[in-house]
Structure 1
Amino acid sequence: MRMSQWAEETFGQRAPLIRQGVAEALSVALENARDAQKAARTDHLHPFGFTLMSRKFEALAKAFEDMGDVRIVKPGGSQHELVLLDGKLLFPFRYAKDRSLTVMSARIGDGRPSALVQALFHRFGPAPRIRQLALHDIAPHAVPVVEALDELPEDTRLVLIAYAANAHAGLLDAWWGEAELLDRFGSLRWHRCEPIPLAQEAGAPAAGDSAAAFDQGVLPMPELNPRTTATRRSAEATPIRPEAAGGA
């Protein structure tokens, strides 16, 4: 079924394949995290959180490692590898643990985003629609050094993958799109935000089922706000903290 105009413009003919791959990668990461929680036999959610923090990046990298025009990059100071797919940098983060918060109110993490995350937004995110704080006002230590992002092409676009999940229910929903970072607390203004049908909703095979096609069961997505041109700014890189990388 037809993809949205934004998805087609961003990912071309491979948009259904990529969207399905994102849904399956998130499902794999969530199941791995839930398995870790069960194996730990503790009421504390640290096993789930720390496993999910790493596996969401690893599962995305594994899903797309053999696709053409894909680079797996690890910017200096980052603890995780990121997928650069035909100039689109995929960045997953958990915006909620339940359905009480909508994606339009999403923030990057529970605390202040790291300097690296802020630099990714300022250099590769969409142009702000209104005047906002300069990068040196948000992350004063992020301005002088930019070498960690120099390996990424200048025309890279940051594509966010926001999802809600918890250890009990697993993956609740997922979205992708482009947004600008508004402040030092991780608030976002979405320029484009579209739902990603979850693997079970799209009739996709379970992870590891080689009998079914990878790109089956794609659902249509609604048109939202128009896409804007990415802007590039310089910034210093520091390690991605757990809360900045999507949290537990």
Structure 2
Amino acid sequence: MSTSLSPWATEVFGEQAQPVRTLLGQALRNMQANAQAAHAQAESRTNHTFGTSRWQNQFERLQDELMDLPGATPVKPFGFPFELMLVRGGLLFPFLYSKTKADVRKARIPSESLLVKELFTFAPEPQHVQGEFDLDLGVAADVVEPRGGLATLPEGTRLVLVPFACNTSELLEAHWGIASLGENRRLMWATEPETLELPQSVTPHRTRLTGIPEQAGASELQGTTFADGSEPTLTLSSRAASDRHRAVPPQTEAEPVEDQTSEDDATH
């Protein structure tokens, strides 16, 4: 595979174009390794564990690899649980387009959510060829405005798609390029989607779970339950004579103390 950079990559990422392309492949390899490890540890009869782990890792492992690059910044879209990476003028969006090898030029975006619509405001305008039966009824299309961290992106930011194909067995292929969003979630590529090199080795950024920790036995758990604890010492006090004469009922519990904190404090 040729390692020469396309003009669009150099235009978007500048001198970071080559490192970005290399690290994208590494991030996806790490994603696959983590998802497979989670799937194996869960011993699940379904692929749910793999899918959930893969979805999380496709964003977090990419951030691990790119964070130290000059000009790299994490961006938090509104209502999205993960951060996307902005490097120079390119906002990177990785997504699964197939579970088997397939022509990426015919790929569709997984869903046309509000987040996807906001992301594609940083993509080229889709080309539309008016068909014979298309009618112009003068109805304006909905205008989507980026929110959250996307609203702070500098003018001229370009959305760079990173579609990849994988399953529980292997990471099949990955690409990058620039595309607009056409009808029925179909991608209309403004650049030829280029294949990313996928390394065989994994770069660990933290300790991975490689085995189930040894669980404590019954003998080790003795004396650790509430019933095994020592009896509390009760402090008894007699009532004052004046309280007895006035028939004041005895107080069995201390008055509750009003809590000075609340969950709202966590937001400040």
Highest CA radius of gyration, 1 or 2?
Answer: 2
Question: Displacement, 1:145?
Answer: 5.4
Q: Which amino acid aligns with 1:197?
A: E
Which one has more relative contact order, counting CA pairs under 8 Å at least 6 apart? 1
**TM alignment of 1:104-183, pairs within 5 A:** 104-109=105-110, 112-121=111-120, 123-130=121-128, 137=141, 143=143, 146-148=146-148, 149-168=150-169, 170-183=170-183
CA–CA distance in structure 2, aligned partners of residues 154 and 49 of structure 1: 34
Match of 1:219 in 2: none
Q: Which amino acid aligns with 1:167?
A: T
SS of residue matched to 1:167: coil
Match of 2:19 in 1: 17
Q: Which amino acid aligns with 2:41?
A: A
Stretch moving more, 64-73 or 143-152: 143-152
Residues 107, 186 of structure 1: 8 Å contact kept: yes
Question: Displacement, 1:173?
Answer: 0.4
- Is 1:191 the equivalent of 2:190? yes
Match of 1:227 in 2: none
Q: Please, what TM-score do these two structures have when normalized by structure 2?
A: 0.67
Residues 32, 51 of structure 1: 8 Å contact kept: yes
Deviation sequence 1:172-222 (CA, Å, 0-9, x none): 000000001002x3211111111111113xxxx54249xxxxxxxxxxxxx
Match of 1:92 in 2: 94
CA–CA distance in structure 2, aligned partners of residues 62 and 135 of structure 1: 44
Deviation sequence 1:34-77 (CA, Å, 0-9, x none): 11111111120000000011111001111111111111010212
Residues 75, 151 of structure 1: 8 Å contact kept: no
Q: Which amino acid aligns with 1:103?
A: V
Q: Please, what TM-score do these two structures have when normalized by structure 1?
A: 0.72
Deviation sequence 1:129-188 (CA, Å, 0-9, x none): 335899975xx5xx47544332112211000001000001x21000000001002x3211
User: C-alpha root-mean-square deviation of aligned residues, in Å?
Assistant: 2.4
Q: Which amino acid aligns with 1:172?
A: L
CA–CA distance in structure 1, aligned partners of residues 159 and 48 of structure 2: 29
Match of 1:214 in 2: none
Residues 117, 144 of structure 2: 8 Å contact kept: no
Higher strand share: 1
Cα 1:136–1:196 change in 2 (3 A) is farther
CA–CA distance in structure 2, aligned partners of residues 48 and 18 of structure 1: 26
Which stretches in structure 1 are left out of the alignment for 5+ residues?
210-248
Q: Which amino acid aligns with 1:9?
A: E
Match of 1:207 in 2: 203
Question: Displacement, 1:5?
Answer: 2.5
Q: Which amino acid aligns with 1:30?
A: Q
Cα 1:48–1:23 change in 2 (3 A) is same
